[in-house]
Homo-oligomer: A and B are copies of this chain.
């Protein structure tokens, strides 16, 4: 391995000078700078990050800790983060927790042990690990889910506004009885989306009725069961707003099994756009989240905190966009 000493010797300067050139710090005479550059090229010198990290007490890696790399949502979030990090000299590594607390812990430990420069995390229900990061002084930005009982920079989407737009859209299209399938109580995304549903109905002077609201687990099977239970009710609703994409798939499958025609007999809007929304029949009306921008915003908050650790904690909320497709055409 070529060390900074090798370069120094070759260039006839001290290691300190090489370090200054490499890091673009302080003034180094142009001539020396050139000699050092040449030596670096000739020896194909690559700095040893471990040594630099040890000395600086911080690496140049950002960790992005998410619950499910299979979720297309995160793909473009990641892209947004990378686009901000790269020009700043940081590399971004992705850690997939599969919603497994043990894995989450592993990665938090790794981020701490490797002294990574910062962490962007979609926190699981239990904020314990995030708190550990915060306590250790690690710059952290939470995305997607709000953090309870801990003060950290956060980027959220306007869940309530998005849900309200979706439900208002169904009502305006002429559906008369709109149900809601949302996620578990206590999960902020689930609760805010339900709030939006309620607000939309209230705004039209039709206060939401409890029997049309279902809580499920954000999974496909949960959406399926919730839909079935809504259809079994008398009188059954004629439209549904579903608070995430997996449950929407389940709901659609249920409707198909029962031969309920969508959108003629039943309208559907899902939260969270999916790449194949255009391909399923009927194509799916969704509330799309600004995923790329979410990543950028998170990265910018992280960069800001890195620069000024004492800055006040802030929360950014991004708007959503209703993508109207076939599943919410007017009822027959």
Produce 1/0 per residue, A227-265, CB < 8 A to B: 000000000000000000000010011000000000000
Known pairs A48-B115, A75-B70; A94 contacts B94 (CB<8 A): yes
Partner of A95, one of B93, B112, B113: B93
Query: How many Å lie between the Cα of A59 and that of B91 in the bound state?
Result: 16
Copies of this chain present in the complex amount to 2
Stretch of A6-14, A276-284, A317-325 with 4 or more beta carbons under 8 angstroms from chain B? A276-284
Residues of B within 8 A of A107 (CB): 91
Give the residues from 88 to 142 in chain A that come closer than 8 angstroms, CB to CB, to chain B. Answer: 91-96, 98, 103, 106-107, 109-110, 112-115
Query: How near does chain B come to A128, taking the closest CB pair, in angstroms?
Result: 14
A188 at the interface (CB under 8 A from B): no
Asked if A49 and B114 make an inter-chain contact with CB atoms under 8 angstroms apart, the answer reads yes
Q: Is the CB of A106 within 8 A of B94?
A: no
A249 and B50 in contact (CB under 8 A), knowing A96-B82, A106-B91?
Answer: no
Contacting residues of chain A (39-78) with chain B, CB-CB under 8 angstroms: 46-51, 53-54, 57, 59-61, 63, 69-70, 72, 74-76, 78
| A residues whose Cβ falls under 8 Å from a Cβ of B | 1, 46-51, 53-54, 57, 59-61, 63, 69-70, 72, 74-76, 78-79, 82, 86, 91-96, 98, 103, 106-107, 109-110, 112-115, 249, 252-253, 275-276, 279-281
